[in-house]
Each structure stands twice: as structure tokens, then as C-alpha cells.
């Protein structure tokens, strides 16, 4: 394996970061411990809330995101990833302050979504308040010939309830069953061919029965990292 190092700015939230780390290990074709990549993880749950900054004009997360990325850069690492879709809404404010690549999970997930599916396919995105409100996936999907489907605020309330429950529990079989039922209903309602799980909290769930119809942003970022760093 190579000598490159990965920097992870995590903690948004902690369970999602743990799931992301585990996905990297699982996807790495390692036979021995030393076959795995070197990873520097800053699990910082004290970065100001991305959503509360937007909703209530509370403290911006950007200064702390920049400070954390600069520390990772100085370690040094060769690539920085942020396993949080909401945080990547601010990525263009962070990148000018860092001299190495800071990957955008939204762009990477959109790339994977466009593979193996016909152009003009309808895509639903299940994400947090920022991802939903600002339609952050829309321009990336459009550039790849896919159609972004914007669901109702009532449906979004259900999505955000899922996210909050996962943040508290990390995982549960009951949540997985509820997500499968909700996803099937939404795909039928909007004639969608694909669902993008645009919140890394969903990476904590197994979703086995939805495997062929979803793109998990947590998993997509892990695949990107393994291909880029190893």
C-alpha cells in the first residue's frame, strides 16, 4: 500500500463518522493491519451547528472548519474529507484557506449516482435541512443528466425525524424497517428510480433490501477515499 495519509474532519455527527471510518476499513482490500491507510481523524462535535447557523443566525461553522482543516493539513495529510453533507454546503468558504484537496461529498455522491442509471432518471434526495432547503444536490445531478426531485415539507419532516433518531441511537432494526417502507412509498409517489441518502447519518443503517435503488453518501465517500488514497 502507498504512504499517503487521509485526514477526516468528523464529529458531524459522531455516529456517522464512526460508520464512515468502518466503511473505509471494510472497503480496503487488506490482508494485514499494515495494508490499511493511515488516517488522521479529528472527531469534533463542537463545530457550531450548520443548521442552527442557517435557521437562527447562530455562530458560523466555517472558522472552526477552516482551523480543523489547517491542522489536518499540517499533520500532514494528502486529502481531507468531511463526512457531512450539510457541512459541505460551506466547503467553498473553506477551500481557499487550505492548500490540499478538500473533497465535496455532494459532488462525489452525485458521480456515483450517475453510474449505471439512465440519463434523465428521477432522483430523490433524503438529507437534512440545509441539503433540502438549498437543493444542494440539484446542480451536481443536473450536470450529470439526472433529474432532482424536490419532495414536500411534510415528507422532509419525516426525513429529518429519521436523521435525529439515528443521531441518538446510532442504529436499530426498527429504524431500518421504517426507512425501507418510507423509501418505497416515496419512490412510488414521485416515480423515482433512485434515492440518494444525502445525510451521512443514514450510513449507520444497513438498508440491505434497498441496495439496488439507493446511493448512500457515506458509502460513496468511503469508496472515493479508498480509490484515491491507497
C-alpha cell at 224: 472515493
CA distance 144 to 26: 28
For residue 156, what is the enclosing H or E element? Answer: helix 153-169
Q: How far apart are the first and last CA of the chain?
A: 6
Catalytic residue among 69, 84, 123, 204: 84
- Total number of residues shown for the chain: 230
Active site residue 199: yes
Catalytic residue among 68, 69, 123, 199: 199
Active site residue 204: no
Helix (H, G, I), strand (E, B) or coil at 7: strand
Residue 70 phi/psi, 5-degree rounding, is -70, -35
Find the radius of gyration of the CA atoms of the chain: 17
Q: Return the number of other C-beta atoms located less than 10 Å from residue 118's C-beta.
A: 9
Which positions are annotated as active-site residues? 84, 199
Amino acid at each position: 500500500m502507498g504512504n499517503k495519509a487521509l485526514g477526516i474532519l468528523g464529529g458531524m455527527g459522531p455516529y456517522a463518522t464512526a460508520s464512515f471510518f468502518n466503511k473505509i476499513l471494510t472497503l480496503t482490500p487488506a490482508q494485514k493491519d499494515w495494508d490499511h491507510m493511515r488516517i488522521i481523524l479529528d472527531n469534533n462535535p463542537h463545530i457550531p451547528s450548520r443548521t442552527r447557523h442557517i435557521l437562527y443566525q447562530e455562530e458560523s461553522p466555517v472558522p472552526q472548519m477552516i482551523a480543523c482543516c489547517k491542522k489536518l493539513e499540517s499533520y500532514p495529510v494528502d486529502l481531507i474529507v468531511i463526512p457531512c453533507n450539510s457541512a459541505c454546503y460551506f466547503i467553498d468558504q473553506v477551500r481557499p484557506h487550505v492548500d490540499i484537496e478538500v473533497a465535496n461529498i455532494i459532488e462525489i455522491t452525485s458521480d456515483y449516482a450517475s453510474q449505471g442509471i439512465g440519463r434523465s432518471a428521477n432522483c430523490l434526495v433524503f438529507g437534512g435541512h440545509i441539503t433540502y432547503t438549498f437543493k444542494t444536490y440539484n446542480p451536481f445531478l443536473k450536470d450529470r443528466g439526472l433529474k432532482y426531485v424536490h419532495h414536500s415539507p411534510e415528507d422532509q419532516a419525516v426525513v429529518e425525524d429519521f436523521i435525529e433518531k439515528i443521531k441518538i441511537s446510532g442504529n436499530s432494526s426498527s429504524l431500518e424497517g421504517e426507512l425501507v417502507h418510507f423509501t418505497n412509498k416515496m419512490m412510488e409517489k414521485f416515480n423515482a428510480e433512485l434515492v440518494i441518502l444525502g445525510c451521512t447519518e443514514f450510513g449507520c443503517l444497513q438498508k440491505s433490501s434497498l441496495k439496488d435503488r439507493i446511493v448512500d453518501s457515506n458509502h460513496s465517500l468511503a469508496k472515493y477515499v479508498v480509490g484515491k488514497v491507497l
